[in-house]
Chains A and B, each alone.
Chain A
Amino acid sequence: MKKRRYKDDEIIDGLRSGNDAILNFIYENYYGVVQKLVRKSFGTESQARDLFQEVIIVIYTKLQTGSFKITSSFFTFFYAVAKYTWLDYRKIKYKNPLRNSTGYHDVWQIDEETEQVEVLALMALRNKLFFKHFNALSETCQTMLRLSMADYSSDEIAIELELKNVTYVRKRRSDCLQFLIEMMKKDAVFKELL
Chain B
Amino acid sequence: MNDEQEKLMYAKLKGELSEEQILSFDQKLNSDKEFRADFEIYQLAYLNLGDKNAMILRGKLNEIYSKTQEVKKGGKMIKMIKQNRFSAVAAVAAIVLLIGAYWFVGSSKESLNEKLYNTYYNQDEVYVNTRSKVNLDIDVLQTGMSLLEKKDFNGALSEFNKLPGSVTANYYAGVANMELKQHAVAVSKFDFVITNYLNLFYDQAKWYKGLCLVKLDRENEALSLFGEIANSESYFKEKAKEIVVDLKIK
Contact = CB atoms under 8 A, between A and B. Distances in A.
Interface stretch (B33-41, B78-86, B103-111, B112-120): B33-41
A49 B6 CA distance: 32
B49 A150 contact: yes
Contact of A140 (B53, B56, B127): B127
B131 interface: yes
A151 interface: yes
Nearest to A162: B200
Interface stretch (A2-10, A104-112, A170-178): A170-178
Contacts of A27: 61, 64-65, 68
A130 B41 contact: yes
Contacts of A23: 57, 60-61, 64
A3 to B, nearest CB: 14
Contacts of A165: 128, 130
B41 A185 contact: yes
Contacts of A115: none
Interface in A106-131: 126-127, 130-131
The interface residues of chain A, by DSSP majority, are classed as helix
**A interface, how many residues as a size bin?**
35 or more
A57 B54 contact: yes
Given A49-B65, A150-B49, A162-B200, A126 B60 contact: no
A97 interface: no
A168 interface: yes
B231 interface: no
Contact of B200 (A24, A150, A161, A172): A161
A61 B54 contact: yes
Nearest to B51: A61
Interface string A38-53: 0000000000010011
A174 B5 CA distance: 12
Nearest to A53: B61
Nearest to A185: B37
Interface in A50-105: 52-53, 56-57, 60-61, 64
Contacts of A185: 37, 41
B129 A177 contact: no
A122 to B, nearest CB: 12
Contacts of A177: 1, 6, 42, 45
A33 interface: no
Contacts of B44: 126-127, 130
A149 interface: yes
Interface string A131-145: 100100011100101
A131 B76 CA distance: 31
Nearest to A27: B64
B192 to A, nearest CB: 17
11 contacts: A31-B68, A130-B48, A150-B49, A150-B50, A150-B52, A163-B130, A163-B131, A164-B130, A177-B1, A181-B37, A184-B41
